[in-house]
A and B are shown apart, each in its own frame.
Chain A
Amino acid sequence: MSDTDPSADRLDYVAWADRLRDGELLGQECAECGHTTAAPKAACVRCGSRTLAAVTLPTDGIVHSETTIGVPPEGFDGEYQVAVVRLGDAKVLGRIDGAVDIGDRVSFADVLVADDHPAPVFEPV
């Protein structure tokens, strides 16, 4: 067992969510292979390295895919649009404020909190 907390420097979910609530969208970049993700993990999904640096993701991106939810789950009121947004080398799922198609430019605009979990909100630019 190591004498230091191996997760001390890692961007974990709690830290990611706190920063998102404060209006900053963080991701992770792998020091070994350079893979970038918007959904922080305990090890790199491409190479397995645990040396992952927190990075601030670009706030402007491109809609990679989208759908308008007509039948929402309990706790949500429809209808609304969700999208996979490409931010630099990473992709992130978020809510859309407005209406977008694939290929449209969007910008990180707000944060939605559902059941105490934050999600990024994007709007067309």
Chain B
Amino acid sequence: MARATIVGAGMTNFGVHERPLPDLFADAAFDAFDDAGVASPEIEALYVGNAMGGMTENDTHLAPTLASHIGCPGVPAQRFEDACATSATAFKHAVEAVESGRHDVVLAGGVERCTPETGLDTAAMTRVFVSAAHRQYEQPAGLTFPGVFALLTKRHMHEYGTTEEHLAEVAVKNHFNGTLNPRAHFGRETSVEKVLDSPIVADPFHLMDCCPFSDGASGIVVASEAAAESFDHPVDVAGVGHATDVVPLADKTDLPATQAARDAASQAYGQANTTADAIDFAEIHDCFTGAEVMATEALGLFEDGAGGPAAAAGRTALDGEVPVNPSGGLKAKGHPIGATGTAQLVELTEQLRGEAGERQLDDPERAVAHNLGGDAATTVVTVMEARQ
């Protein structure tokens, strides 16, 4: 029995948006409502993610603002902040709410603007992002978020022999997939040479190893298993695992293990009564190319240390044994922080229904989404299954 079902999924294009947060969120929410065939008054609660609106746009207390804007005034509405895992944790609470019987049909989603449309330049936005690193023990050294993942990835390279070329192959794959996704921020291919020739952001990461600053929103209509009967295209949420790891990162026992992902995956696979071997494809939090490599190992898709060579060998390509980030991932689809987690679930929903257009995989039955926050100290892993 599924923990919950997704009966509607929607998102904006990811990229640069002039529209403020409420209008962006409404576009995604209504896309999801129309997909589900529900009207605003049928939504019983709102679980919305926005990580940084207070810092980037002087905009907080968003939950009732957004509920009001989309025709759902008065419902219990709450806003979540868990860095880049913001909307996955919002989704987790939505799943628990329908699973427990508290609600039947709710909306989970996220919205964020990170481009210069906020009025912030690269240095200012880099400072905003590093607010997710430890204020006392990490920020004073001048760490950045690319730097956080560079520290994890350099250790992975040291322990396993992962190379910059392996990392670049992840970017090349995800950029190719992005060319098949009309909602992606980047719709152009790249090459290993172009990645390695791009400027260093935090070594080993070149600019083209890093996801872009994006604006966008996503929304998911979540229904209980019983309520799902009255919808046309439900997809099952078989498991949602959520774990955290020690902060700051120097206190983590094993840097490249990304232990929270291992713990969350173990929970999610257990709830779904499945294993990594039975996963047909994955949407993975590739904020940086090295993050995808470490996540494919943490999720059990490859042995520890095999993630880089697997990507380079095409094993994670659209036609590989376990496609990773068919949407283009954060790298090409874009990364509007608080919208990313539920946008991954939009891709899972569409692929499992067979509605993913040019990038549609061959009849997938089971998929996993991996959304991390901060230095991977928050990770949410979701297993979804097509309805039989």
Q: Which residues of A contact B (CB under 8 A)?
A: 13, 17, 37-39, 45, 64-76, 79-80, 82-84, 90-95, 102-103, 112-115, 117-120
Contacts and interface: CB of A to CB of B under 8 A. Distances in A.
Nearest to A113: B140
Given A64-B155, A65-B151, A65-B255, A73 B144 contact: yes
Nearest to B120: A74
25 contacts: A17-B136, A39-B250, A65-B151, A67-B147, A67-B151, A67-B203, A68-B203, A69-B146, A69-B147, A70-B202, A71-B122, A71-B201, A72-B142, A73-B130, A74-B123, A74-B126, A76-B142, A82-B143, A83-B151, A90-B250, A92-B137, A93-B138, A93-B249, A114-B140, A114-B141
B152 interface: yes
B69 interface: no
A6 B195 CA distance: 53
A71 B138 CA distance: 16
Contacts of B137: 38-39, 92-93
Given A72-B142, A92-B137, A93-B249, 6 more contacts: A65-B154, A67-B202, A70-B201, A71-B201, A72-B123, A73-B129
Given A67-B147, A73-B126, A114 B201 contact: no
A96 B129 CA distance: 22
B123 A70 contact: no
Interface of B: 122-124, 126-127, 129-130, 134-144, 146-147, 150-152, 154-155, 158, 199-204, 246, 248-251, 255
Contacts of B249: 84, 93
A70 B150 CA distance: 11
Determine chain B's interface SS by DSSP, over half rule: helix
Contacts of B202: 67-71
Nearest to B130: A73
A13 B134 CA distance: 12
Contacts of B142: 69, 72-73, 76, 80, 82, 95, 112, 114, 119
A65 B152 contact: yes
Determine chain A's interface SS by DSSP, over half rule: strand
Given A93-B249, A117-B139, A71 B146 contact: yes
A106 to B, nearest CB: 14
Contact of A66 (B123, B151, B250): B151
Interface hub of B122, B123, B138, B202 (most chain A Cβ within 10 A): B202
Interface hub of B126, B140, B199, B202 (most chain A Cβ within 10 A): B140
Given A65-B152, A68-B202, A102-B154, A73 B140 contact: no
A91 B250 contact: yes
B386 to A, nearest CB: 40
Given A84-B250, A117-B139, A74 B152 contact: no
Contacts of A94: 141
Contacts of B204: 67
A91 B122 CA distance: 30
Given A64-B155, A65-B155, A66-B151, A93 B143 contact: yes
B144 A118 contact: no
